[in-house]
Protein backbone atom coordinates (compact mmCIF):
# COMPACT_ATOMS: atom_id res chain seq x y z
CA UNK A 1 0.00 0.00 0.00
CA UNK A 2 1.26 3.45 -0.83
CA UNK A 3 1.71 5.43 2.38
CA UNK A 4 -0.35 8.26 0.92
CA UNK A 5 -3.37 5.95 0.87
CA UNK A 6 -3.52 6.50 4.63
CA UNK A 7 -5.03 9.87 3.87
CA UNK A 8 -8.18 8.05 2.79
CA UNK A 9 -8.07 4.81 4.76
CA UNK A 10 -8.32 6.70 8.03
CA UNK A 11 -11.88 7.51 6.95
CA UNK A 12 -15.01 5.46 6.45
CA UNK A 13 -16.99 7.19 3.69
CA UNK A 14 -20.42 6.38 2.35
CA UNK A 15 -20.74 5.24 -1.25
CA UNK A 16 -20.34 8.63 -2.96
CA UNK A 17 -17.58 11.01 -1.88
CA UNK A 18 -18.44 14.66 -2.50
CA UNK A 19 -15.35 16.24 -0.99
CA UNK A 20 -12.04 14.99 0.33
CA UNK A 21 -10.21 18.03 1.58
CA UNK A 22 -6.57 17.73 2.53
CA UNK A 23 -5.03 21.04 3.43
CA UNK A 24 -1.63 20.54 1.89
CA UNK A 25 -3.27 21.95 -1.22
CA UNK A 26 -5.23 25.15 -0.53
CA UNK A 27 -8.24 25.65 1.72
CA UNK A 28 -10.44 23.47 -0.54
CA UNK A 29 -13.47 25.73 -0.38
CA UNK A 30 -13.49 26.16 3.39
CA UNK A 31 -13.90 29.89 3.77
CA UNK A 32 -14.88 32.51 6.30
CA UNK A 33 -18.57 32.94 7.00
CA UNK A 34 -19.98 36.45 6.67
CA UNK A 35 -23.48 37.73 7.29
CA UNK A 36 -25.58 39.23 4.50
CA UNK A 37 -25.30 42.84 3.29
CA UNK A 38 -27.20 45.28 1.14
CA UNK A 39 -27.15 45.84 -2.61
CA UNK A 40 -24.45 48.50 -2.52
CA UNK A 41 -21.88 46.20 -0.94
CA UNK A 42 -22.02 48.18 2.29
CA UNK A 43 -20.47 45.82 4.81
CA UNK A 44 -21.69 48.09 7.61
CA UNK A 45 -25.08 46.47 7.02
CA UNK A 46 -23.76 43.06 8.11
CA UNK A 47 -25.12 42.04 11.52
CA UNK A 48 -22.68 42.87 14.32
CA UNK A 49 -22.51 39.27 15.49
CA UNK A 50 -21.79 37.98 11.93
CA UNK A 51 -19.16 40.39 10.64
CA UNK A 52 -15.96 39.09 12.22
CA UNK A 53 -15.77 35.30 12.04
CA UNK A 54 -12.11 35.50 10.94
CA UNK A 55 -10.51 33.93 7.86
CA UNK A 56 -9.30 30.31 8.07
CA UNK A 57 -5.55 29.80 7.90
CA UNK A 58 -3.33 27.02 6.61
CA UNK A 59 -1.19 26.15 9.61
CA UNK A 60 1.87 23.97 10.11
CA UNK A 61 0.88 23.79 13.79
CA UNK A 62 4.00 25.54 15.05
CA UNK A 63 4.42 26.58 18.66
CA UNK A 64 6.76 28.64 20.83
CA UNK A 65 8.22 25.68 22.66
CA UNK A 66 8.74 22.91 20.08
CA UNK A 67 8.58 24.69 16.73
CA UNK A 68 6.70 22.92 13.97
CA UNK A 69 4.40 20.16 15.19
CA UNK A 70 2.91 19.27 11.81
CA UNK A 71 -0.38 17.52 11.16
CA UNK A 72 -1.65 13.95 11.20
CA UNK A 73 -0.76 13.21 7.58
CA UNK A 74 0.92 16.22 6.07
CA UNK A 75 2.35 19.68 6.38
CA UNK A 76 -0.70 21.88 6.82
CA UNK A 77 -3.97 21.88 8.71
CA UNK A 78 -6.91 24.20 8.28
CA UNK A 79 -6.86 26.39 11.38
CA UNK A 80 -9.74 28.41 12.78
CA UNK A 81 -8.57 31.00 15.30
CA UNK A 82 -10.71 33.27 17.45
CA UNK A 83 -9.80 36.70 18.61
CA UNK A 84 -8.81 36.94 22.30
CA UNK A 85 -12.26 38.30 23.12
CA UNK A 86 -14.80 36.47 25.29
CA UNK A 87 -17.51 34.95 23.11
CA UNK A 88 -15.68 35.49 19.85
CA UNK A 89 -16.24 32.79 17.23
CA UNK A 90 -14.18 31.77 14.19
CA UNK A 91 -15.74 29.74 11.39
CA UNK A 92 -14.90 27.80 8.28
CA UNK A 93 -17.81 27.07 5.95
CA UNK A 94 -18.14 24.74 2.93
CA UNK A 95 -20.96 25.40 0.49
CA UNK A 96 -22.53 22.57 -1.51
CA UNK A 97 -25.92 21.67 -2.90
CA UNK A 98 -27.81 18.38 -2.88
CA UNK A 99 -28.19 16.13 -5.92
CA UNK A 100 -30.47 13.86 -3.95
CA UNK A 101 -31.77 13.12 -0.46
CA UNK A 102 -30.49 10.62 2.03
CA UNK A 103 -27.63 9.89 4.38
CA UNK A 104 -24.86 12.49 4.54
CA UNK A 105 -21.64 11.87 6.46
CA UNK A 106 -18.97 14.35 7.46
CA UNK A 107 -15.72 13.03 8.87
CA UNK A 108 -12.64 14.81 10.09
CA UNK A 109 -9.55 14.37 12.17
CA UNK A 110 -9.25 17.46 14.33
CA UNK A 111 -7.36 18.97 17.24
CA UNK A 112 -8.40 21.79 19.55
CA UNK A 113 -6.37 24.09 21.78
CA UNK A 114 -6.35 27.33 23.67
CA UNK A 115 -3.43 29.57 22.79
CA UNK A 116 -0.41 29.27 25.06
CA UNK A 117 0.02 32.13 27.50
CA UNK A 118 3.68 33.00 28.02
CA UNK A 119 5.02 35.43 30.58
CA UNK A 120 1.71 35.93 32.31
CA UNK A 121 -1.14 33.74 33.49
CA UNK A 122 -4.70 33.98 32.21
CA UNK A 123 -7.65 33.19 34.51
CA UNK A 124 -8.41 29.49 34.65
CA UNK A 125 -10.53 27.12 36.69
CA UNK A 126 -7.82 24.45 36.39
CA UNK A 127 -4.49 24.75 38.17
CA UNK A 128 -1.16 23.38 36.99
CA UNK A 129 -0.16 20.23 38.85
CA UNK A 130 2.39 18.86 36.42
CA UNK A 131 -0.32 16.94 34.59
CA UNK A 132 -3.37 19.15 34.16
CA UNK A 133 -2.78 22.62 32.76
CA UNK A 134 -4.68 25.94 33.03
CA UNK A 135 -5.12 26.07 29.24
CA UNK A 136 -7.48 23.09 29.54
CA UNK A 137 -10.22 25.36 30.87
CA UNK A 138 -9.42 28.27 28.55
CA UNK A 139 -11.00 26.46 25.59
CA UNK A 140 -14.71 27.17 25.14
CA UNK A 141 -16.44 25.06 22.50
CA UNK A 142 -16.30 23.80 18.96
CA UNK A 143 -19.29 23.22 16.71
CA UNK A 144 -20.03 21.27 13.56
CA UNK A 145 -23.21 22.27 11.81
CA UNK A 146 -25.15 22.41 8.57
CA UNK A 147 -27.36 24.91 6.82
CA UNK A 148 -29.82 23.00 4.64
CA UNK A 149 -32.78 24.22 2.62
CA UNK A 150 -34.98 22.38 0.13
CA UNK A 151 -38.48 21.26 -0.69
CA UNK A 152 -39.94 24.68 -1.30
CA UNK A 153 -37.83 26.67 1.12
CA UNK A 154 -37.89 24.52 4.26
CA UNK A 155 -34.67 25.42 6.06
CA UNK A 156 -33.05 23.66 8.99
CA UNK A 157 -29.74 23.16 10.73
CA UNK A 158 -28.29 19.97 12.11
CA UNK A 159 -25.95 21.15 14.87
CA UNK A 160 -23.58 19.45 17.29
CA UNK A 161 -21.37 21.28 19.75
CA UNK A 162 -18.72 20.05 22.13
CA UNK A 163 -18.80 22.42 25.06
CA UNK A 164 -15.56 22.14 26.99
CA UNK A 165 -16.37 24.91 29.45
CA UNK A 166 -19.44 26.92 30.28
CA UNK A 167 -19.46 30.69 29.97
CA UNK A 168 -18.00 30.94 33.49
CA UNK A 169 -14.99 28.84 32.49
CA UNK A 170 -16.01 25.78 34.48
CA UNK A 171 -15.30 22.43 32.83
CA UNK A 172 -18.44 20.82 31.36
CA UNK A 173 -17.17 18.51 28.56
CA UNK A 174 -20.62 17.85 27.16
CA UNK A 175 -22.15 17.47 23.71
CA UNK A 176 -24.92 19.97 23.10
CA UNK A 177 -27.54 20.88 20.52
CA UNK A 178 -29.80 23.92 20.10
CA UNK A 179 -33.59 23.66 20.22
CA UNK A 180 -34.11 26.77 18.09
CA UNK A 181 -33.00 27.57 14.54
CA UNK A 182 -30.16 30.00 14.05
CA UNK A 183 -31.11 33.70 13.88
CA UNK A 184 -30.75 34.88 10.29
CA UNK A 185 -30.08 38.31 8.75
CA UNK A 186 -33.65 38.27 7.45
CA UNK A 187 -34.90 37.85 11.01
CA UNK A 188 -32.87 40.94 11.90
CA UNK A 189 -34.23 42.97 8.98
CA UNK A 190 -37.72 41.94 10.07
CA UNK A 191 -36.96 43.28 13.55
CA UNK A 192 -37.06 39.94 15.33
CA UNK A 193 -33.69 40.38 17.05
CA UNK A 194 -30.49 42.41 17.13
CA UNK A 195 -27.46 40.66 18.53
CA UNK A 196 -24.25 42.26 19.77
CA UNK A 197 -20.70 41.51 18.67
CA UNK A 198 -19.50 38.08 19.87
CA UNK A 199 -23.02 36.79 20.54
CA UNK A 200 -23.37 33.05 19.95
CA UNK A 201 -24.55 33.09 16.33
CA UNK A 202 -25.72 29.46 16.33
CA UNK A 203 -28.22 30.01 19.17
CA UNK A 204 -27.59 33.12 21.29
CA UNK A 205 -29.54 32.15 24.42
CA UNK A 206 -27.70 29.57 26.56
CA UNK A 207 -31.15 28.36 27.71
CA UNK A 208 -31.81 27.16 24.15
CA UNK A 209 -29.09 24.50 24.35
CA UNK A 210 -29.53 20.94 25.63
CA UNK A 211 -26.97 18.26 26.42
CA UNK A 212 -26.96 14.77 25.01
CA UNK A 213 -25.00 11.64 25.78
CA UNK A 214 -22.67 11.44 28.76
CA UNK A 215 -19.82 13.67 29.77
CA UNK A 216 -16.94 12.98 27.40
CA UNK A 217 -13.30 13.72 28.10
CA UNK A 218 -11.17 14.37 25.03
CA UNK A 219 -7.39 14.22 24.78
CA UNK A 220 -5.91 17.54 25.88
CA UNK A 221 -2.43 16.13 26.53
CA UNK A 222 -1.38 18.35 29.38
CA UNK A 223 -0.04 21.52 27.73
CA UNK A 224 -1.35 23.93 25.07
CA UNK A 225 1.18 22.92 22.42
CA UNK A 226 0.77 19.15 22.25
CA UNK A 227 -1.92 18.44 19.71
CA UNK A 228 -3.53 15.05 19.28
CA UNK A 229 -5.81 14.26 16.36
CA UNK A 230 -9.33 13.11 17.19
CA UNK A 231 -11.60 11.27 14.77
CA UNK A 232 -15.13 12.61 14.30
CA UNK A 233 -17.89 11.10 12.19
CA UNK A 234 -21.37 12.58 12.02
CA UNK A 235 -24.27 11.17 10.02
CA UNK A 236 -27.44 13.07 9.19
CA UNK A 237 -30.36 12.20 6.92
CA UNK A 238 -31.56 14.93 4.59
CA UNK A 239 -34.58 12.86 3.47
CA UNK A 240 -36.02 12.90 7.00
CA UNK A 241 -34.29 16.14 8.16
CA UNK A 242 -32.88 14.27 11.13
CA UNK A 243 -29.73 13.47 13.02
CA UNK A 244 -28.51 9.88 12.90
CA UNK A 245 -25.25 9.14 14.68
CA UNK A 246 -22.14 10.79 16.04
CA UNK A 247 -18.80 9.12 16.61
CA UNK A 248 -15.89 10.67 18.50
CA UNK A 249 -12.95 8.29 18.58
CA UNK A 250 -14.31 5.12 20.21
CA UNK A 251 -17.58 6.64 21.44
CA UNK A 252 -20.59 6.12 19.14
CA UNK A 253 -23.65 8.16 20.05
CA UNK A 254 -27.17 7.62 18.77
CA UNK A 255 -28.58 11.00 17.70
CA UNK A 256 -31.91 9.84 16.28
CA UNK A 257 -33.79 11.44 19.16
CA UNK A 258 -31.91 14.74 18.92
CA UNK A 259 -34.39 17.14 17.27
CA UNK A 260 -33.65 19.36 14.28
CA UNK A 261 -35.91 22.43 14.47
CA UNK A 262 -36.92 23.87 11.09
CA UNK A 263 -37.45 27.57 10.52
CA UNK A 264 -41.08 28.59 10.82
CA UNK A 265 -40.86 30.64 7.60
CA UNK A 266 -39.80 29.60 4.13
CA UNK A 267 -36.57 30.87 2.56
CA UNK A 268 -35.94 31.83 -1.08
CA UNK A 269 -32.75 31.43 -3.17
CA UNK A 270 -31.50 28.46 -1.16
CA UNK A 271 -32.98 25.48 -3.02
CA UNK A 272 -30.99 22.30 -2.35
CA UNK A 273 -28.59 24.20 -0.10
CA UNK A 274 -26.13 21.94 1.72
CA UNK A 275 -23.62 23.91 3.78
CA UNK A 276 -21.29 22.66 6.48
CA UNK A 277 -19.39 24.74 8.97
CA UNK A 278 -16.93 24.20 11.76
CA UNK A 279 -16.66 26.91 14.37
CA UNK A 280 -14.67 27.50 17.54
CA UNK A 281 -15.70 29.87 20.33
CA UNK A 282 -13.65 31.21 23.20
CA UNK A 283 -15.34 31.73 26.53
CA UNK A 284 -12.19 32.89 28.29
CA UNK A 285 -10.85 35.63 26.03
CA UNK A 286 -7.80 33.49 25.27
CA UNK A 287 -7.55 32.71 21.55
CA UNK A 288 -9.06 29.30 20.80
CA UNK A 289 -7.95 27.18 17.86
CA UNK A 290 -9.56 24.35 15.93
CA UNK A 291 -7.20 22.47 13.61
CA UNK A 292 -8.58 20.21 10.87
CA UNK A 293 -6.13 17.69 9.40
CA UNK A 294 -8.57 16.93 6.58
CA UNK A 295 -12.30 16.62 5.97
CA UNK A 296 -14.30 14.07 4.02
CA UNK A 297 -17.96 14.52 3.06
CA UNK A 298 -19.80 11.56 1.58
CA UNK A 299 -23.42 10.74 0.75
CA UNK A 300 -25.74 7.87 -0.01
CA UNK A 301 -27.60 9.09 -3.06
69 lines the binding site for another protein (CB under 8 A) = no
Using CB under 8 A, which of 13, 24, 69, 231 touches another protein?
Answer: 24
4 lines the binding site for another protein (CB under 8 A) = yes
Of 38-46, 128-136, 244-252, 258-266: span binding another protein (CB under 8 A): 38-46
81 lines the binding site for another protein (CB under 8 A) = yes
54 lines the binding site for another protein (CB under 8 A) = yes
- Do 231 and 250 touch, CB atoms closer than 8 A? no
| Gap between the terminal Cα atoms of the chain | 29
- Do 68 and 52 touch, CB atoms closer than 8 A? no
Using CB under 8 A, which of 8, 19, 116, 223 touches another protein?
Answer: 116
122 lines the binding site for another protein (CB under 8 A) = no
- Number of residues this chain uses to bind another protein (CB under 8 A): 30
Of 59-67, 94-102, 144-152, 265-273: span binding another protein (CB under 8 A): 59-67
Using CB under 8 A, which of 13, 32, 204, 300 touches another protein?
Answer: 32
Total residue count of the chain as it appears in this document: 301
Calpha distance 68→60 (Å, rounded): 6
Of 48-56, 165-173, 177-185, 261-269: span binding another protein (CB under 8 A): 48-56
Using CB under 8 A, which of 28, 60, 102, 270 touches another protein?
Answer: 60
57 lines the binding site for another protein (CB under 8 A) = yes
Calpha distance 31→26 (Å, rounded): 11
17 lines the binding site for another protein (CB under 8 A) = no
Closest CA to 148 of 282, 247, 263: 263
Cβ closer to another protein: 188 or 241?
188
CB atoms within 10 A of CB 40: 7
Calpha distance 135→219 (Å, rounded): 13
DSSP string, 20-52: EEETTSS-TT-B-------TT--GGGS-GGGS-
Using CB under 8 A, which of 1, 5, 118, 217 touches another protein?
Answer: 118
* Beta pairing class for 288-299 and 103-114: antiparallel
CA angle 104-108-110, nearest 5°?
150
36 lines the binding site for another protein (CB under 8 A) = no
Interacting residue ranges for another protein, rule: CB under 8 A: 4, 24-27, 32, 34, 43-44, 46, 51-52, 54-55, 57-60, 62-64, 74-76, 79, 81, 83, 115-116, 118
Amino acid sequence: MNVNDARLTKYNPLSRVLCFDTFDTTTHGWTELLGNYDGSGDLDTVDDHMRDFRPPQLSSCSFFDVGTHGTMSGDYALKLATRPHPGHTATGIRRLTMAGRGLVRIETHFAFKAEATVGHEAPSSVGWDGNRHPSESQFGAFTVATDICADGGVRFHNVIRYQNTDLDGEMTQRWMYPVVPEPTPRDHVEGKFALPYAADFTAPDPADWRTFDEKLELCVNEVPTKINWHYLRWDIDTSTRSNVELQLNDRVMDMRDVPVPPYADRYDTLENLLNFYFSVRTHSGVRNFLFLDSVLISVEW
